[in-house]
Amino acid sequence: MSAEIRWGIVGPGRIAEKVVEDFAVVDGARAVAVASRSQERADGFAARHGLDRAYGSYREILADPDVDVLYVATPHPHHHQFALAALRAGKALLVEKAFTATTAGAAEVVDLARETGTFVMEAMWTRFQPAVVALNELVADGAIGEVRSVQADLGVSREYDPVDRLFALELGGGALLDLGVYVVSFAQMLLGTPDRVVATGSLFPSGADAEAAILLGFDDGRNAALTTSLKYALPGTARVVGTKGWIDVVPRFHHPQTIVLHRDGAEPEEITRPQTGAGYAHELAEVGECLRAGRTESAVMPLADTLVVQDVLGQAADQLGVRHAEAVDVL
């Protein structure tokens, strides 16, 4: 791996516009190319962000020998087929969350990554936020005793528009894959794999989920109560409750700067850890560190965790009557 890790951007949409700005604050990382199914969109993105090359097809960026790792920010159902092609082309991957549209699709990508020994990570930036790192350190140190319960909510108010990606089922629309992935991943990070998933909610006319409440149950009594919505705004709070206290994550929990530690018999303790850049720099740096060290996955966001999260989202979708599918005409 060269001293400078060269990145390609796949899918120049809203999230990629934000993420690419953070390369400026990551040592040894540079975005050099972008691919879209529209040459015009690729050209515009490359011009705005000073990228060397712009491709009007995904196949072209897969064939570029001067790209080490691809950041995939296409709609959720497009991740699966593209990721498989990228792995066969020997490209390392940072794949936006939700990782895929289906549990089976995620498993196929993970299996091929492991078979080929190629680095893949889900772009769950929350786990790399300095404030969340501090939370995990407190939990590991036993600051709140044994974690027994996690609560988290994330929702926005959006007017229904069947053409918008957020509401189009074939593009992976709905609250679960877009926002629910955050609350589920946060709970899974702290509690592990649940024994039961119970979900309730409602659907948009398109068949995409509008809102969901998810209860994760564990055989030893631990639990998570999670809420997500595209119908109404939620504060974006999270609380981690242990046997000796709790930690509040000050909104919005998926990219927080401050946590508050409440210990039995002690005054609340506020801990602030600002992000670098817009907050995406931390996951980009993790990919670089892993690639330089020859690791095939991240210890902070391992593929096993991605599979659990995808399975929980899949079970919740099934219970709501949402039928996600992977796209087959991506390339």
Block mean pLDDT (10 aa), the chain, length 331: 88 97 98 98 98 98 98 98 98 98 98 98 98 98 98 98 94 97 98 98 97 98 98 98 98 98 97 98 98 97 98 98 96 92
Chain CA centroid to CA 224, Å: 19
Dist. CA 323–CA 321, nearest whole Å = 6
Q: What is the pLDDT of residue 2?
A: 60
Prior bond to 196 cis, omega within 30?
Answer: no
* Pairing outcome for strands 29-35 and 209-217: unpaired
Q: What is the pLDDT of residue 60?
A: 98
Phi, psi values for residue 303, rounded to 5°: -65, -30
Dist. CA 110–CA 98, nearest whole Å = 14
Q: What does the chain come to in residues? A: 331
* Residue of 215, 217, 121, 206 whose CA lies nearest to 171: 206
Whether residue 101 contacts residue 81, with contact meaning beta carbons closer than 8 Å, is answered with: no
Q: What is the pLDDT of residue 3?
A: 82
Q: What SS3 class is residue 29?
A: strand
Dist. CA 262–CA 265, nearest whole Å = 9
Tokens of 270: 């506020």
Report the side by side order of strands in the sheet with 120-123: 53-55, 29-35, 5-10, 69-72, 92-96, 120-123
